[in-house]
Structure 1
Amino acid sequence: MSADLERRYRRLLASYPWSHRRVYEEEMVAVLVAGARPGQRRPTLGETANLVLSGLRTRAGAAATTVVGPAWRDAAAVFGFLAALALLSQRIVRLLDPVVGYAFVLPASEYLRALGWAAVVFAVLAGLRRPAALLAWATVVGEAVLVARQYQIEPVGTVQVLFWPLTLGIVAAATLSVPAPRRQALAVLRWRRLAVFLAGIVAVQTIRTLNHAAQEATYDGGTFYVWFGLERPSELGLYLWVAIVAAGAVTAGAAALTAPAAVRWRILALTAPVVALVAEIRLTLSGWAYSNGHMGHPVYLVPIQWTLLVLVPLAALGAAAALVHWREQNARLTALGRAADRERSGD
């Protein structure tokens, strides 16, 4: 009977992180068993709730400590800065887009969004970490209001085109809010990596701008070759533009992913929510988009779809962070095992 009770207590203690259980589990189990009533076979409801909630609080505290650790701090600083640069480049392309700026008239919101991310970039370069985070959050809130208004008019285009930049902006603002030394992003990236990243972004955005300009100037109903929004009247021209976009994307990615390994894997983890959102929209909302094109009136997302649009990116971030932790923990244990083997062989 005592063995069954002890086993059930150990199951509840699984809510605590392993680092905590490794030190305190035996002591906690002994105290719990000693305090049990005679003949008690399972933990009481109060004990169960207390152990689970306490374990989750301990896990949350451990996670917070990990997030402000050096590796996550460096990755957050780098990701926030690079995401702000990418969003600024997208805003600039919007300003240059002949479709948006038809008849040389641009909505004031486009200028404000571009100025917002430009201010964030300059604040980071100046080493003003807190102003950069505040500016990022202010810009994200402003963009969220604009996206909400646009969604009422054109739900499909808003979800497919504007949701992922908004998500990227939220992650950028959150990462810029992580405490870090002044100009930490530049210290990790170095100017060489930053220049390479900018070159890749400029290549991608230049092709996007030229593509939109060519669509406005030459589209006359003839044969066009299309690939993910890129259009050219010749197949060779389309291949060339796709190659330039791919080279630019690879160049920009290489600039971030040649950072130290600990930072590199965390940057990938921070990218996971945006990638997951884009994949979710493309894979699960195609039927909804098709319905909007044939119903004659806007069809809006239902609550379960909104819930998934929020939960899937969060789950992707959590899974990616857990994968990074597992990978590093596994590498650490492997290194300890090899060290122990060398020590035994030396004996």
Structure 2
Amino acid sequence: MTEVLERRYRRLLAVWYPWEHRRLYEREMLAVLMAGARPEQRWPSARDTANLVGHGLRTRFGAAGTGLAAPAWAEAAAVTALLGALVLLSQRVSRIAEHLVLPGPAPTPTLWLRALAWTAVVAVALAGWRVLAATCAWLTVAAEAVLFARQYQDMPVAAMGTFVPLALGVLVAAGLTLPAPRRRALALLGWARIAVFASALATVHGVYLNNQRGRDRLYDGEAFYVWFGLESGSDAGLYLLLGLVAVAGIAALLVPATLPRPVRWRVLAMVAPIAVALAVIERGLDGWAYSNGHMGHPIYLAPIQWVVLTAGPLLAFALGVLVVHRLEHVRRMVAVGEAAEETGPARD
């Protein structure tokens, strides 16, 4: 009975506690748990299980929080911030180009100011002035948050279309706030990767802008093909446009994918919240957006929708941190095992 109960306690500890904590305290914890067990007890009590789960979660998240101070997280934050700032700058420049090239009103002063603000963030970040770059980023995000709140009062659906860029701006500002060696992002990425990433963004925006310029020619009774916002008068033309966008997208993804493994994993964990927020808006709020288009007054998000929209990305980041630490723990254990196998025969 004692062996069965001890094995089940060990299983609980293995599930809920990080390896580093178990290595130091597992024997002592098991001794306390077994000393308090009843005679003939076969299963952990509900009280012990709740205490182990609660304390284990606090220990795991505490270890994850301590690990966030590691140099690899600071490097990943710097890289993510620089690439995110380039994405936001490309969006602002693309909006201005649309107003200049397509029929319609000229770019507003607000559009110019937003583009200039993100240009300043990118330039200062590349120069290595992290504190100034973080300050510019936070001021820009604060101004865009005010614009978002004002637009949400009158046009909530249109405002939610800018929520993901706003969340990305917060990520950029937070990434620049974390202390990192001067110009570390530039050292990790290199000018070649930055040029590839910027060219990929320019290609995607250029394809869509050029496609919009020729849209009117497709509405004169001719057949046309539409997919993901791109339109063409022929099937082959549509495939060509999609191919250009796909190549540019793959090139952009290869930029972080070719970084060192510790940085690459952490960049993915940092970008995960943005992907979750985009998925929630595109898939989870489509019914809400449809209702807004058919009602005579704005319909605002319910509190539970705001909770999902904000808590989902935070949970995605927490899960990403835990996954990264788990993967690195497995790699360390494999390395220890391989080292033991190599040195074992030598001792014999």
Is TM more than 0.5 here?
A: yes
Aligned to 1:96: 97
Contact 2:17 2:60 in 1 (8 A): yes
Whether the 8 Å contact between 1:224 and 1:231 is mirrored in structure 2 is yes
> What secondary structure sits across from 2:162 in the alignment?
helix
CA distance in 2 between partners of 1:49 and 1:132 (Å): 45
Match of residue 217 from structure 2: 218
1:117-266 mapped onto 2 (5 Å cutoff): 117-159=118-160, 161-215=161-215, 217-218=216-217, 220=219, 222=221, 223-266=223-266
- Give, as a single letter, the amino acid of the residue that structure 1 aligns with 2:229: G
Pair 301,100 (structure 1): closer, same or farther in 2 beyond 3 Å: farther
**How far is 1:188 from its partner?**
0.5
The number of residue pairs the alignment matches comes to 342
Contact 1:200 1:252 in 2 (8 A): yes
CA contact (8 A) 1:78 1:189 kept: yes
Task: For residues 29-50 of structure 1, give each alpha carbon's deviation from its aligned partner in whole angstroms, at most 9, with x where no partner exists.
Answer: 778999x9xxxxx99x9x9999
Pair 341,49 (structure 1): closer, same or farther in 2 beyond 3 Å? closer
Instruction: Give the AA of the match of 2:301.
Output: L
Against the structure 1 CA distance between its residues 324 and 239, is the aligned structure 2 distance closer, same or farther, given a 3 Å change threshold? same
**CA distance in 1: counterparts of 2:100 and 2:286, whole angstroms:** 24
Tell me by how many angstroms 1:153 deviates: 2.4
Provide the C-alpha distance between the structure 2 equivalents of 1:138 and 1:98, rounded to a whole number of angstroms: 25
Deviates more, 1:239-248 or 1:223-232: 223-232
Shift of 1:144: 1.4
1:29 and 1:150 map into 2 onto residues whose CA distance is 58
The residue number in structure 2 matching 1:304 is 304
Q: TM-score, normalised by structure 2?
A: 0.84
Letter in structure 2 aligned against 1:82 = L
Q: Per-residue deviation at 1:65?
A: 2.8
Alpha-carbon distance between aligned partners in 2 of 1:135 and 1:58, rounded to the nearest angstrom: 36
Distance, in Å, in 2 between the alignment partners of 1:335 and 1:56 is: 26
Q: Which moved more, 1:243-252 or 1:54-63?
A: 54-63
Contact 1:97 1:213 in 2 (8 A): no
1:303-343 per-position Cα deviation (integer Å, ceiling 9, x unaligned): 10110000111111111222121111111111211222222
The verdict on how the C-alpha distance between 1:339 and 1:48 changes in structure 2, with shifts beyond 3 A counting, is closer
Q: Which residue of 2 aligns with 1:271?
A: 271
User: Do 2:64 and 2:322's aligned partners in 1 also have CA atoms closer than 8 Å?
Assistant: no
- Give the Cα–Cα distance (whole angstroms) in 1 for the partners of residues 255 and 49 of structure 2: 49
Amino acid paired to 1:278: L
How far, CA to CA, are the matches of 1:286 and 1:104 in structure 2? 29
Q: Distance in 1 between matches of 2:156 and 2:227?
A: 23
One-letter code of the match for 2:333? Answer: L
**Residue pair 2:218, 2:232 contacting (<8 A) in 1 also:** no
Tell me the CA shift for residue 105 of structure 1: 2.5
The Cα shift of 1:25 comes to 4.7
Unaligned runs of 5+ in 2: 37-43
Report the AA paired with residue 217 of structure 2: T
Letter in 2 for 1:63: A
- Cα distance in 2 for partners of 1:15, 1:332 equals 19
Q: Is 1:295 aligned to residue 333 of structure 2?
A: no
Letter in 2 for 1:289: A
1:82 is matched with 83
After superposition, the CA RMSD in angstroms is 3.4
Which residues of structure 1 form unaligned runs of 5+?
A: 37-41
Superposition deviation, residue 208 in structure 1: 2.2
Give % identity.
49
Provide the secondary structure at the position in 2 that maps to 1:97: helix
The amino acid across from 1:192 in the alignment is A
Cα distance, 1:100 vs. partner?
10
Aligned partners of 1:135, 1:102: CA distance in 2, in Å? Answer: 33
Q: Secondary structure at the match of 1:330?
A: helix
Structure 2 counterpart of 1:339, one-letter code:
A
Shift, 1:53, TM fit: 8.4
